[in-house]
Structure formats: C-alpha cells, structure tokens
C-alpha cells in the first residue's frame, strides 16, 4: 500500500501505517502519532490504563480533530 497524501501530490511513498479514523495509508512524513489513554468499563480496579497507547492519523483527520482551531463559515 502507498501513502494516499503522497499520491495526491503525484509522488509515491510506501505506507507505514493506516489512519485510525479514515483508513488511508500514511507514510512516515504524513503520519501524526499521538498518545491515547485506553479506557474500559468501570468495575473493580483501574478503569484507565497506566500507559499511553499509540494512535496514528493522516494529516486530514489530524487537522479535523484539532478543535482548538475550528472556524465557522457564516
């Protein structure tokens, strides 16, 4: 699989991951990797993991999830 964002720019780069949101292949240059807390239903014991899990998104989904910079057309 090749990187979708590279293909849009008429270049080819192998995908090293798949976007967690949309499923597009992403190369190292376009991959956004963040930590995410893993949660489970409350019960006996901790409901949040002790370590962050890795989450990979493409540039488009990463930008769409940036709620601090949302602009509204009006």
Residue pair 52/39 in contact (Cβ under 8 Å)? The answer is no
The residue ranking higher by pLDDT, 69 or 1, is 1
Predicted TM-score (pTM) of the model is 0.72
- Render pLDDT for 22-43 as a digit per residue (tens, 0 to 9): 999 999 999 999 888 777 777 7
With a pLDDT cut of 70, the percent of the chain lying above it is: 80
The residue ranking higher by pLDDT, 70 or 42, is 42
Domain ranges of the chain: 4-40+48-69
The alpha carbon dihedral of 9, 13, 63, 23 has a sign of: positive
Mention every residue, 6+ apart, whose C-beta is less than 8 A from residue 46: none
Residue 72 confidence (pLDDT) above 50: no
């Amino acid at each position: 699989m090749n990187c979708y964002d590279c293909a849009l720019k008429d270049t080819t780069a192998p995908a090293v991951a798949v976007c967690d949101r949309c499923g597009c292949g992403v190369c190292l240059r376009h991959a956004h990797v963040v930590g995410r807390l893993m949660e489970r239903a409350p019960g006996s014991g901790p409901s949040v993991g002790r370590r962050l899990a890795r989450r990979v998104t493409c540039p488009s989904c990463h930008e769409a999830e940036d709620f601090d910079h949302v602009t509204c057309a009006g």
